[in-house]
Amino acid sequence: MRKILTTEAQTPQAGKPAGLPANSVGIVEPKSHTFPGPFKLACGRVLDEYTLVYETYGTLNADKSNGVLICHALSGHHHAAGYHSETDKRPGWWDHYIGPGKPIDTNKFFVVAVNNLGGCHGSTGPSSVNPQTGKPWGPDFPPLRARDWVHSQAQLADLLGIQQWAAVVGGSLGGMQAMRWSLEYPDRLRHCVVIASAMKLSAQNIAFNETARQAITSDPDFRDGRYLEEETLPRHGLSVARMIGHITYLSDDGLGKKFGRELRSGTFEQGVEELVEFQVQSYLRYQGDTFSGSFDPNTYILMTRALDYFDLAREYNDDPVEAFSHARCKFMLVSFTSDWRFAPERSREIVDALMHANIPVTYAEVESPMGHDAFLLPNERYEKFFSAYMNNVAREHSAEITSGVAK
Q: How many helices (H) and strands (E) does the chain have?
A: 10, 14
Please name the amino acid found at residue 279. Answer: Q
Query: Which of the following is catalytic: 148, 296, 311, 339?
Result: 339
Please name the amino acid found at residue 186. Answer: P
H or E element, residue 235:
helix 235-249
Residue 103 phi/psi, 5-degree rounding, is -50, -45
Query: Which of the following is catalytic: 65, 75, 152, 172?
Result: 172
373 is in an annotated binding site: yes
CB atoms within 10 A of CB 17: 11
Cβ-contact 13, 107 below 8 angstroms: no
Pick the closest to residue 69 from 7, 152, 143, 3 (CA basis). 152
339 part of the active site? yes
Please name the amino acid found at residue 236. Answer: H
Query: Which of the following is catalytic: 77, 236, 372, 397?
Result: 372
The stretches of 134-194 forming alpha helices (DSSP H) are: 146-160, 173-184
Q: Where are the beta strands (DSSP E) in 137-254?
A: 167-171, 191-195
Half-sphere exposure of 87 toward its Cβ, with a 13 Å CA cutoff? Answer: 0
Omega of the bond leading into 38 within 30 degrees of 0 (cis) = yes
Task: Give CB contacts under 8 A, 24+ apart, made by 326-329.
Answer: 326/182, 326/183, 326/186, 327/182, 327/183, 327/186, 327/192, 327/354, 327/357, 327/359, 328/182, 328/186, 328/187, 329/182, 329/186, 329/189, 329/190, 329/191, 329/192, 329/359
242 is in an annotated binding site: yes
> How far apart, in whole angstroms, are the C-alpha atoms of residue 328 and residue 342?
25
Radius of gyration of the CA atoms of the chain, in A: 22
96 part of the active site? no
> How far apart, in whole angstroms, are the C-alpha atoms of residue 55 and residue 35?
16
296 part of the active site? no
> How far apart, in whole angstroms, are the C-alpha atoms of residue 73 and residue 129?
24
Query: Which residue positions form the known binding site?
Result: 242, 373
Catalytic positions:
172, 339, 372
Query: Which residue positions form the known binding site for substrate?
Result: 242, 373
